[in-house]
Amino acid sequence: MRRMLTCLLLILALPASAQIYKYTDANGNTVFTNQPPDGQNAEAVELPATNTVEAQPLTQPPSQPAEAVSAARYSVLELTDIPTDEALRANNGTFSVGVRLVPRLAPPHRLRLLLDGQPYGQPSNVPRLQLSNIDRGEHSLAVEILNGEQPIQQSASVTFTVQRVNTSSPALRPPPPPTPKPAS
């Protein structure tokens, strides 16, 4: 990769190292060109040296090889914002959970939820994950760290209960109107 980048920069620098000539054409316009025209009195233009910048590492410092990053272990990996002592109220079954991890997520790694032991949703590098349309009842949830498609670490499972309002419940129906008393 670095070799290709160096070659590309050298190719781009070649036109900058070519000689530039300046002359005045028959209409009195100043013309700059890389080839002096025949029969014209052209003078060479001296350009200042070009600026250069040292290449920076792309993903990790040189002291940390890619193998070390892919095998990195996280000392803390846990789900947050899940009530365990009471039911989670989510009438439409949509809620989000947080992920706490130490150290920060390394660049090639992604987070994915495991709902009831099955992968849920797309892997993400954001430590806030959303669940949608989850059925009411008891569920288990964990988060795993992926390196590509390969799981490398998993949090402990958390058991929680989703409470959703049942709109057909008799408790939610309005009370019937009072019946009028017969006149005496």
Q: Are both 113 and 150 inside the same structural domain?
A: yes
Residue 58: pLDDT band by 50, 70, 90 thresholds?
low
* Residue range 55-75: mean pLDDT, rounded: 61
Query: What pLDDT sits at residue 104?
Result: 92
Distance CA 169, CA 172 (A): 6
Q: Are both 138 and 86 inside the same structural domain?
A: yes
Q: Residue 64 CB: number of other CB atoms within 10 A?
A: 13
Name the CA dihedral angle for 96, 100, 106, 112, rounded to a multiple of 10 degrees: -40
96-132 confidence digits (pLDDT tens): 999 999 999 998 999 999 999 999 999 999 999 999 9
Q: Is residue 173 part of a domain?
A: no
Which phi and psi angles does 131 have, rounded to 5°?
A: -115, 140
Q: Are both 7 and 83 inside the same structural domain?
A: no
Give the pairing type, strands 158-163 and 109-115. Answer: unpaired
Domain carrying residue 78: 68-163
Q: Is residue 174 part of a domain?
A: no
Q: Is residue 184 part of a domain?
A: no
**Residue 72 clears pLDDT 70, i.e. is over it:** no
Count of the separate structural domains present in the chain: 2
Q: Is residue 18 part of a domain?
A: yes
Q: Are both 38 and 114 inside the same structural domain?
A: no
CATH number at residue 73: 2.60.40.10
Q: Are both 21 and 72 inside the same structural domain?
A: no
Q: Are both 101 and 150 inside the same structural domain?
A: yes
135-183 confidence digits (pLDDT tens): 989 999 999 999 999 999 999 999 999 988 766 666 666 777 787 877 7
Decide if 34 contacts 18 (C-beta within 8 A).
yes
